[in-house]
Structures are given as C-alpha cells and as structure tokens.
Amino acid sequence: MIQVEGLSKIYRVAEKQPGLAGTLRHFVRRRTRDVTAVQDVSFRIEPGEMVGFLGANGAGKTTTLKMLCGLIHPSAGEVHVAGHRPQRRQAEFLRRITLVMGQKQQLLWDLPPMDSLRVNAAVYGIPDGVAQRRINELADLLELGEELTRPVRKLSLGQRMKAELLAALLHEPEVLFLDEPTLGLDVNAQARVRQFLAQYNRRTGATVLLTSHYMADITALCPRVLLIHQGRLFHDGPLEVLADQLAPEREVRLELESPVEADALAGLGRLEQLEGCDVRLLVPRDQLTAVVAQLLDRFPVRDLDVTDPPIEELIGGLFRQGRV
Amino acid sequence: MRVFGLNRRIIRVLLGSQYAHMLEYRAEIALWALSGVLPFIMLSVWSGSDARSGLGLDGSALDRYFLSAFLVRQFSVVWVVYAFEEDALLGRLSPYLLQPLHPLWRYVAAHLGEQLTRLPFAALIAAVFFAVQPQAFWVPSLGGFLLAWLATWMAFAIAFLFQSLIAALCFWSEKASALERLQFIPFLFLSGLLAPLTAFPPAVRAVAQWTPFPYLIDFPARVLAGQPVDLLAGFGAQLAWIVLLLPLVLLLWRAGVRRYSAMGA
C-alpha cells in the first residue's frame, strides 16, 4: 500500500544572528543553509498494517508524513501510496487517504462539527444517506453525541480531537496518516481514541501510519514500528524488539503512609529517588507485576503510579548509549 | 457532474455553512459595513454646486453615484489575502489542500456568505441615506439593476482574482499582504471611490483605463446610478481582466503549492 524508496527532503532555511547588527546584515545579505530533514528513507507498508512511526522532535516524522500524503514534494526518492504518486495530489488519490495532524483542525471553529461534516460529505461526493449512516457509526465508536451539534469552540480538547477524527474518516480512507492524534488529551480520551483506531482498522482494513509521543499509543496499536533519528531510518521491525531496547524498565512512583529506609526497598528494582514517603523505582518490565504485588503487600501504600518515561527521553537515551 | 471541481450540492452546502459561519460574526460585519461610508464622506466634500457641475454630475446624479459606489464596494470587498495568509501560517491550509476541492472555492464561499450577511446592514444604511437625502431616491429599471448586479459581481471576481494572485505569493513570502496594502493607494484614487473618474485630468483617466481599478467601483456604480456609460467597453474590460487574471492565479497557485512547506504545521 505504501512504498518508499530513497526518500529525502532538504529544506533551505534562513540564518540570522541576534541583535540589530545581525538584523541589518540579514537584511543586506540574506544567508541560508540547507537542512536535511529526511535522508534516504526506504520502507514498505502492506495493506491493513498499523505501523508506529517513532522519533524525537525534529527527527523527520512529520516531514515524512507530509511527503507521503503529498503536502510537500520530496527532494529525492520515490513514494507510492495506494498506487499513486502523492505529490500529484490527484482527486482519486486524495479520496483514498487522510491526514490528522494533532491540533491542526479542519472543523469550522464557530459552527457545530455537523456543519463541517456536511461540507466534507459534499466535497467527497458521499450521498446524504450514506454520510449520515457513517456519521452515526463513527460517532457511536467515538462516543460523540450532542457534541456534534455544539459549536466547536465550546468543545473540550478531547471532544474536538474526536470530532476531527470523525471528519477525517468520513470518506472511509484506505490510508490513515496520523500525526500525534492523542497529543494533549487526558488519559481517558487517549484510551478512547486508541480503541477507536483499533476498531476502525479492524472494521475497514485501513492502513495506518501513526506518530505519537505516548509509548502507550504505539504499544496498544502498532505491532511494527519505524524509528527515525536525524532524518535517517534506524529501525524497521517488530515493536517488541525495539521496546526492549527503548524501555526495558518502567517507572513506579509510590506514596507511602510512612517513610521507609532504602534497605527495605532492596531487590524491588532500581531506586531512583527516596524522599520521606515518596519513592521512585525503575523496575524491569518482566518483573513489574511481581514487584508491584510485593510493594502493595509489604508497605502501606497511599498511591501508586506506573508509567513509561516520555518517548523523547527513551529515544534520546537509546542513541546516547549507542544501542541503535 | 463537477464543473471546476464544483457541483450544485457542494455549492449549496458550502454557501450554507459559510453563511452560517459569517452570521456568527454579524456584529463585526455590521461594523465593517458602517466603516465603508467613505463615499458618503466624499459626497459631502464634493457637494458644492460648483464641484457638482465641474464633475458633470448635477442635481441628484452625484448623490446617486456615491450611494452606488458605497453599495458596489459593499458587495465587492475582498479579504482573501488576509484569510489565506493566516491559514497558511497556522497550518490550517494543509487539510484543505488534501481534499478534492480547490481551496480557493472555500474562500469564494466565505466571501459570498459575508456579502449575504452584509446585505441587511447595507440596505439599512442606504435607507438612512434616502431618509436624509429624499431627493436622491430612485428605483433603477429591472434591466439596469441586473446589469449593475452583473457588473458588481464581475468587479468582485476581478478583485478576488487580483488578491488571490497576491495571496498565492504567501507560498514564497509569509507576509504577502504587505503587497495588498501597497496596491490600496492606486485603488483608492483610480477606482472612483474618492471621486468619479470624470474628476481626474484626461491623462490620468487614460492611464486608469488600462488598470483594473475603474472597473471595480466607477463602472458598476455608474451602471447602478443609471448614468451614461459605454456598457460594451465596460463589460469587455471586466471580462478581459478576468480572462487575464484567472490563468495567472491558477499557474501561480500550482507553482506555489509545489513550493509549499506547510509553514507552522
């Protein structure tokens, strides 16, 4: 469904020194330099696959997604999506794809999402009856109801994101490019969006390429991941292989009823922090359940939280350690 | 079947949603309508009897010209460059570029929705004008009204295409609206908004006729006011400008999209 061969993108950016002198110099003699955002990236994605696209900020994820959907032209390389060359942006191609970019919205701000959905239905040539049926189905999956008839500006971030997804999927695209679809959402909304994407994939067989800052999005949805760093592709394969390298440990935060000594926590993971009743441990993934059970058994726990460190940190650590 | 990417359903739904959108800004649009009273100010400046005869517009002719100029301006105001610039900078253009409809149609629909919202306010201002200047009241013939309507729409089309040409430069310069401000001065003087073109020396008139400006206000306003005007030459010039600008806009747009790097996205 997606074939990428030797894809590169080089941007020309202006360089300006700070201060008045720098401004004047920039005005008289504009200096630019070439920045390579994506370099010689190749991969294939089969129909129906859900693939995670990982990388730190500025790694080249969004630039690649924009090239795959035809928003920007590659500097070199070949891209084919659903049998089309995206940069031609033919109507037939545009009907088969969608791009969801975090908070960038296509919904009219002052009108209810329903108005924007009617426009999309007309633009994509979806008959009224079919559009209404799809809206009902997708709204049901996304748990959207009366929100569709409230002005977008009155909706919460999570409700807006779900309405954006509905608008982006109304024409039942075969290829979904999702750039941070859960960014800024609370935990419940994130879970709901994840669940929805999995259901959509199962129901329609759509191909999904997803970027996210949240490891949980990737682990829940994508058996295969691509890892990009400084524009180059470093990993293309099963998530488990990368997950072990990326996040071999999980972070356990505890708030205890009373302070404990460090010795008492020996053998329960790596102690990162101990301040009175607050404890932070890094526990190997495969021992997590056993360690949490022991913690709850041995100590009076007021609060317990298990998280993955932010993906940026994990990837940064991976490259610093030279493990990729 | 689609013509230029449009069919009746898209037109209906797009116009309906944009009209609803603009109604949300009705208070702001009322103020915009009110801020377009420059022709009335100019009318008071030119109102001395000497000035009227100097312009060749005696009696109520000058009053009707400036009221017509006000109405034509109300329905040919274009702001696509500002909307487009904001959309490009904030990355809102990206989803529009990925839909099988040319993004410029959305801006056309937004302008038409805004014109419809403006209609009652413009009518109210015209009513107040007639209440103050009852001797200026006139009802144009049906034929004259339809011709004036067509001339106003063609004026809108020229202004829209001209500004879209500038807007397409946003693909190269993020602040293309500065160019729009630059062309506002010749527009102000040569369009007939400050004075009918007959007020200018023959040499200036001759130059002005080779620009699009007189066909944006002066020509449609004269048609509406029922003044003697060369219809064939006027409509011919309007059509020529549309035929010239349309391919330029499409070409520049296509080149711009190639260069587009989704600024701010």
Output the six-digit token pair for A183.
């960014």
Does any domain span residue A267? Answer: yes
Residue A37 counted as domain residue: no
> Which pLDDT score, from 0 to 100, does residue A31 have?
78
Contact B97 A89 (CB under 8 A): yes
Pair of tokens at residue B184: 């506002």
| Residue of B175, B260, B261 to mutate, testing the A interface (most A Cβ within 10 Å of its Cβ) | B261
Q: Which residues contact A228 (CB under 8 A, 6 or more apart)?
A: A38, A41, A53, A54, A55, A59, A60, A61, A64, A234
Which of B5, B13, B262 faces A72 most closely, judged by CB atoms?
B262
Q: Which CATH number is A280's domain given?
A: 3.30.70.1560
* A20 in any annotated domain: no
Domain that holds residue A267: 248-307
Contact A106 B20 (CB under 8 A): no
List per-residue pLDDT tens for chain B, 265 residues long.
Answer: 676 778 889 999 999 999 998 888 888 888 888 888 888 888 787 776 677 777 777 778 888 999 999 999 999 999 999 998 888 878 788 888 899 999 999 999 999 999 999 999 999 999 999 999 888 888 899 999 999 999 999 999 999 999 999 988 888 776 777 888 888 889 988 999 888 888 888 899 999 999 999 999 999 999 999 988 999 999 999 999 999 999 999 999 988 887 775 443 3
If asked whether residues A211 and A254 sit together in one domain, one would say: no
* Residues A190, A291 within the same domain: no
Report if residue A113 sits inside a domain. yes
The verdict on A133 and A212 lying in the same domain is yes
Those residues with Cβ within 8 angstroms of residue B115's Cβ, 6 or more apart along the chain or in another chain? B74, B75, B156
Structural domain total, chain A: 2
Residue of B99, B114, B173, B258 for testing the chain A interface, max A β-carbons within 10 Å: B99
Do A211 and A252 fall within a single domain?
Answer: no
A157 token code pair = 């971030």
**Helices A128-142/A187-204 angle, 10° precision:** 130
Q: Are residues A227 and A259 in the same domain?
A: no
CATH of the domain at A112: 3.40.50.300
Amino acid found at B136: A
A→B interface, C-beta within 8 Å: 11, 62, 66, 69-73, 89, 91, 94-95, 97-99, 101, 104-106, 108, 110-111, 115-116, 118-124, 168
Question: Do residues A7 and A64 make contact, with C-beta atoms less than 8 angstroms apart?
Answer: yes
Q: For residue A135, give the nearest of A150, A116, A154 by alpha carbon.
A: A116
- What is the structure's pLDDT at B215? 96
User: Would the CB atoms of B17 and A97 count as touching at under 8 Å?
Assistant: no
Distance, first Cα to last Cα, chain A: 27
Say yes or no: A80 and A199 in one domain.
Answer: yes
| A9 and A72 Cβ atoms separated by less than 8 Å | yes
Position A13 scores a pLDDT of 77
As given in the structure block, the two tokens for residue A43 are 């991969």
d(CA A228, CA A58): 10
**Residues A66, B265: C-beta atoms closer than 8 Å:** yes
The neighbour count for residue A89, using CB atoms within 10 Å, is 16
CB contact under 8 A, A94 and B99: yes
Query: What are the 10-residue block averages of pLDDT along chain A, 324 residues in total?
Result: 91 76 73 86 93 85 91 90 90 92 78 93 93 91 88 88 89 91 78 86 91 81 88 84 72 87 84 86 86 89 80 65 56
What separation in angstroms does the CA of B134 have from each of A173, B63, B139? 61, 10, 12
- Distance from the Cα of A75 to chain B's closest Cα (Å) equals 11
- Both A49 and A97 in a single domain? yes
The answer to whether residues A168 and A276 belong to one domain is no
B4 at interface of A, judged by CB pairs closer than 8 A: no
Return the residue of A nearest to B110 by Cα: A108
Going by C-alpha positions, the residue among B30, B72, B43, B11 that lies closest to residue B229 is B72
Strand ranges inside chain A, DSSP E = 2-15, 31-45, 50-54, 76-81, 97-101, 175-179, 207-211, 224-229, 232-238, 249-256, 270-275, 278-284, 301-307
Rounded Cα distance between A243 and A262, Å, is 29
| Listed residue (B128, B164, B108) closest to B33, CA to CA | B128
Question: Residue B112, by phi and psi: left (phi above 0), alpha (psi -120 to 50) or beta?
Answer: alpha
What is the spatial distance between Cα B109 and Cα B116, in angstroms, rounded to a whole number? 11
pLDDT for position A317: 66
Locate the domains of chain B by residue range.
8-259
Q: How many CB pairs under 8 A join A and B?
A: 79
Which of A11, A12, A62, A71 to mutate against chain B (most B CBs within 10 Å)? A71
Complex-level ipTM: 0.81
Q: Are residues A66 and A205 in the same domain?
A: yes
| Closest-CA residue of chain B to A99 | B95
A144 & A203 share domain: yes
Encoding tokens for residue A162? 């779900």
Q: A253 and A130, same structural domain?
A: no
Encoding tokens for residue A100? Answer: 């969801």
Q: CA A285, A290, A295: angle at the middle one, nearest 5? A: 110
Dist CA B253 CA B123 (whole Å): 36
Please state, in angstroms and rounded to a whole number, the distance separating the CA atoms of residues A261 and A265.
Answer: 7
Q: Which helix (H) or strand (E) holds A63?
A: helix A61-69
Give the total residue count for chain B: 265
In DSSP terms, A34 is beta-bridged to A12
What's the confidence (pLDDT) of residue A177? 93
Is position A313 within any domain? no
Clarify whether residues A79 and A228 are in a common domain.
yes
What are the helix and strand counts (H, E) for chain A?
11, 13
d(C-alpha A292, C-alpha A257), whole Å: 16
Scanning B133-230, the segments in alpha helix (DSSP H) are 142-168, 177-190, 202-208, 218-225
Instruction: Calculate the alpha carbon distances from A8 to A36, A84, A205, B257, B263 in Å.
Output: 8, 18, 29, 18, 19
For residues B21 and A116, what is the distance between their CA atoms, to the nearest angstrom?
10
Instruction: Say what the alpha-carbon torsion angle A80, A86, A90, A94 is, to the nearest 10 degrees.
Output: 100
Identify any residues that bridge with A303 across adjacent strands, giving them in sequence order.
Answer: A255
CB B13 to CB A119 under 8 A?
Answer: yes
